[in-house]
Every structure is written in C-alpha cells, then in structure tokens.
A and B are shown apart, each in its own frame.
Chain A
Amino acid sequence: MKKGLYVAAGILVMMVLIGYLAITSSSYVDVSELKSYRDGSVVAVKGRVADTKLNPENDLVIFVLEGEDGSQLYATYSLSKFISQYGAPPGHSTVEQNVVMKGVYHPRPQGRVLGYMDIQEILQGCHKAYEAPPATG
C-alpha cells in the first residue's frame, strides 16, 4: 500500500505543476505587458478604462485602456453591436472600471500609446456588483 502512496505523491506533484502552468497561462495580460507582443496576436488584455470615445458616424466605440505602468491601448468595437449586446451605450451607469478585452493586437507605439486592438469580446468581472445593495422584483 505504501508504494501506492508514493505513486500518488509523484503524480500529485506533476498535476500541481501542469495545473499551475495551465491556469497561469490562461490568465489575462496587463496592457503594459503588450510591449512584447507581435502584430496580429490574439490576446485577452485587462486594464482600466481611462476614457471612452463614441464615433456614431463610423459606428465605432473606442476604449482607451490603461495598464499598471500608465501605458495605453486603443481598443475599438462596433457601437451598434455593443448596444445590441449590452443594452446601453458604453460608459453609462458603469460600476466596474476594470475590464478584460479579447481581440487582435496591432502595435503602433506613440508616446504612452502602445497600439490598437480590434475587439472580439468585451468581458467584465462581477466583483463590484456584490458591493451594491440588494434589490428585489
């Protein structure tokens, strides 16, 4: 039976390592980490929404995402698609300033701006919701 325990301990260590690598590699990168990414990379970026610009003529919404070191990324999405998906234009009644955006990254360094990203998905966490008072209906 002791042999079984040793085998279990060995596989356990292996699984911890594989699991750790799998989970950490699935985490989101900060905007500041994009410096090392190549043109055309598909990446899930997390950052603070520093500004939101609406461009209804071209059906665009541009999010200015800021990383931990202050570097910025311009992330673009279709405004009509955003409204039909999320029910309201961006920036209204928002309680969560940190978002995760998944898309194709194009580096165009200029000052603090690292480049732009064509957004495929906009993901938001639910942390702030739990701080809000409860409601019923």
Chain B
Amino acid sequence: MRKILLGLLGLLYLADAILLFYSTTSGPFPSVVPLGTPTAYRNIYVHVPISISTYLAFTLGFLGALAYLTKGQDKFERLAHVSIISGIILGASTLVTGMIWARESWGAAWNWDPRETGILFMWLAFLVYLAIRSSVTDPDVRPKISMAFAVAAYSTIPLSFVIPYVMPSLHPTAPQTSMFLKSGLTKALFSARMAVVNLGVLALIVLAWRKKVEKVRYLAIPLLTASLAVLALQLPANLASSSPSSGEFKAVVMEGNYNGSFHLKVLAGGKVYELIYDGEPPVKPVKVEFQGKEFLTLEKHWVLVKGVVRDSLIEASSLKLINYWGVSINALIYALTVLSLLVMAEREGS
C-alpha cells in the first residue's frame, strides 16, 4: 500500500513537472497589462497555486488543532503540527514568489498592500506557534498550549483572504482573476496546476501524518529538472546586453503598429530606436480590441533583437520574446518548496 501511494505521488510530481514547464514557457498571459512586461503574468500558474495550498495547509492545521482541543487525541495534534509546518514552508514560498512578481507588475517588490501585509502577519503568527511549541518543555502542557495558539493563529487566514474585497488593494479579487481564466487553454492549464499542487500538498501532509514516508526527497527530481530547464531556456535572454552594438541585444517595445510588418519604437540601452521587422509575430494575436481601443500586443514586452543597426534605425532579422526572469526563478522556488516539503515529510513521517 505504501509503495502504491508513493508511486502515485511520484506520478503526480511527474505530471506537475510537465505542467510547470509548459505553463511557464508557453502558458497564455494577458495581452494588455497596466505595468511591466506581460509575460510576468505567467506567474499566475506558479504563485497562485502555492498561495492557495498555503491556505489549505493552515486550514488542515486548524481542523487538527480544534479536533485535539475537543477530543484530546494525540493523532490530531500530529496532523495539526505536520500541516502547520507545511503551511509555514508554503507561506514563505508565497511571500517570495509574490514579491518577485510584484517587482515587475506593480512597480515594487514590497508595497504594504493589505493582502501582502495580511499574509506576512499570518506567516509570522504561525512562526510564533513554532516558537511556543519548542519553548515549552513539559510534554503534557506543550500540545495544549501550542494547539490553542494554532486555533487562534488561524484567525489571520480569513483576514488576509477577505481584505482585498473590502479595502483598496493592488491584489485582484478572485472574480477579477477568473475573468482571465475563462478561455479554454488558460482555464485548463490553471485548473490543472491548482489541482496538482494542492493534491500534492494534501497527499504529503496525510502521508507524513500517517507515518508512511521514509526516503521520498528523490520524488522532487522531475520538478527540479523541469524548473532548471525553464531557467536554462529563459535566463540567458534576460541577461543579454541591451546595447545594439552587441549583435543580439534586448530591448523593450514602447509603441508601434503592424500592417503585415512591425514598425516599432523600442528602448535599448537608454536610447529610443525605430525598428522594422517583417518576420513571424512573436506574440499572437498581434492586435486586440480592449476598452474601446486597439492595442498592439507586443507593447511593453522585452524582446531579443538581431539585425542591422543604422544610427537610430534597426532592421531586425529576428525578434524573439523574452519571458520575464521572475517566472523561471519562481518555478525553481516552487521545485525547492516541494523538495523542502518532502524532506519535512521524511523527518515527520519516518
């Protein structure tokens, strides 16, 4: 039975690795965004599932603690403890992946946004749980005090979740996000990532709680491989020179139009250039109608340009999209988070 469960978990992580690779390299993103490069929104497939699984882990911790306080059985205290440790690992990952995304799409990594503050407060509250648990040495008193605090700390979850609905926040609400998730591929990809990530967290918590795991950290290999592949694929373009004299260089598209070929204004190395390109469009669709205006979807994107430069005119022979570096870093952070959860499960479940 144990081997079957671990086999299923291995398959789950294999599917997760494929989904992680595909969503972060080819997943759809909003065609028009207020700030930063639109590919930063591929973080929706990484950051959002992690944050929901944080809520899931803490909710299991709360239910375990509540069950312990009402029934007094040690097995519930164990469930609460394993879930809370998982929640703390996932919470740290939520904060870091969110900061990396916010740096590009909101203008600054930390903004004291009400939900950001709420998540930080929630995470700190559960760190206090760990401090309380490790500081009380009496084995009879320790579970009672720590479980009482775990129930109380859960109050921070509804606070952090509800706040963007009642106060001005940079965070969107769930109905706002779901508007983007209506279309076929986007919805399928996002739902699959949500299901796989949360199922993985749930399975690990249950396995660690039931003491059914020993050496499982190798199960993170597919995810680590996938995230390193994303990094190897995307980071070099991000690190490319922005000087047009360097052969292949990166630039940001300021504005332009498309009539079979692109006529763009791009910014490279602090200077504005006119760019002409008549090859394959790097973003599809090329134009969209939104809020009564027509937008060229290539605007605001970072691009890797190859071509001939004459003064302030670039005749491009190649124009490739650069995926925001934070997406590949966040994919790696997610893989490391799963590895940490597996190591935790080994320690708690052996």
Contacts and interface: CB of A to CB of B under 8 A. Distances in A.
B34 A135 contact: no
Interface stretch (A19-27, A52-60, A110-118): A19-27
Contacts of A131: 176, 179-180, 290-291
A77 B251 CA distance: 23
Interface in B171-185: 171-172, 176-180, 183, 185
A4 B147 contact: yes
Contact of A88 (B26, B72, B145, B267): B267
Contacts of A128: 32-34, 291
Interface in A57-114: 80, 83-89, 92-96, 100, 102
B123 to A, nearest CB: 12
A116 B127 CA distance: 41
B111 interface: yes
B151 A100 contact: no
B107 A124 contact: yes
Interface hub of A11, A15, A30, A84 (most chain B Cβ within 10 A):
A15
Nearest to B143: A4
Contact of A84 (B28, B178, B270): B270
Given A92-B255, A125-B169, A15 B28 contact: no
Contact of A23 (B31, B118, B183): B118
Contact of B290 (A125, A126, A133, A136): A133
Interface in B116-134: 117-118, 121, 125
A29 to B, nearest CB: 9
Nearest to B178: A130
Given A124-B34, A135-B29, A135-B288, A27 B114 contact: yes
A134 B31 contact: yes
A83 B70 CA distance: 59
Contact of B254 (A26, A88, A135): A88
Interface in A3-29: 4-5, 7-16, 18-20, 22-24, 26-28
A8 B32 contact: no
14 contacts: A11-B148, A15-B155, A22-B117, A26-B112, A85-B107, A87-B37, A124-B106, A124-B170, A129-B33, A129-B41, A133-B183, A133-B290, A137-B39, A137-B282
| Chain A interface residue bracket vs B | 35 or more
B258 interface: no
Contact of A11 (B114, B152, B177): B152
B186 interface: yes
A126 B183 contact: no
Interface of A: 1, 4-5, 7-16, 18-20, 22-24, 26-28, 30, 44, 46, 80, 83-89, 92-96, 100, 102, 121-137
Contacts of B113: 26
B177 A100 contact: no
Q: Is the interface of B mostly helix, strand, loop or mixed?
A: mixed
B156 A136 contact: no
Contact of A95 (B33, B267, B270): B33
B94 to A, nearest CB: 16
A37 B316 CA distance: 52
Contacts of A85: 107
Nearest to B253: A87
A1 B69 contact: yes
Given A130-B177, A130-B179, A135-B297, A88 B114 contact: no
A132 B182 CA distance: 11
A1 B300 CA distance: 59
A13 B300 CA distance: 46
Contacts of B117: 22-23, 26
A89 B163 CA distance: 33
Contacts of B254: 87-89, 92
B144 interface: yes
A126 B105 contact: yes
B118 to A, nearest CB: 5
A24 B114 contact: yes
A95 B36 CA distance: 12
A27 B167 contact: yes
B233 interface: no
Contacts of B321: 137
A95 B179 CA distance: 16
B153 A15 contact: yes
Interface hub of B31, B35, B39, B282 (most chain A Cβ within 10 A):
B35
Interface string B265-308: 00100100000000000111100101100010101110000000
